[in-house]
Amino acid sequence: MSKEVVYVEDNPVLRGNYTDLLIKEGFKVRAYETRMEAMIGFSEKLPDIAILDLELNGERDAGFQLCMYLRQKSPMLPILFLTSFGDEVDKISGFRLGADDYLTKTVSQEFLIIRINALLQRYDNLRNKSLDIDENIVGKQIANQLFIDKDRLLVYWNNQLIDLTLTQFWIVQELYIEPRKVKSPHQLMKAAKIHVEPNTITAHIKMIRQRFKLVDDSFNCIKTERGAGYRWLDS
CATH topology of domain 4-125: Rossmann fold (3.40.50)
What pLDDT, on the 0 to 100 scale, is given for residue 126?
64
Q: What is the mean pLDDT of each run of 10 residues along the chain (235 residues)?
A: 94 97 97 96 95 95 94 87 90 85 92 91 67 44 70 84 84 91 92 76 89 91 94 84
- For position 124, what pLDDT does the model report? 77
Q: Provide the CATH topology of domain 130-232.
A: Arc Repressor Mutant, subunit A (1.10.10)
* Per-residue pLDDT, 128: 64
For the chain, the C-alpha Rg in angstroms (whole number) is 18
pLDDT at 189: 87
d(CA 79, CA 50): 5
pLDDT at 132: 45
Position 178 scores a pLDDT of 87
Does this model's pTM top 0.75? My answer is no
Where along the chain do the CATH 1.10.10.10 domains lie? Answer: 130-232
What residue ranges of the chain are covered by domains with CATH 3.40.50.2300?
Answer: 4-125
pLDDT of residue 130: 44
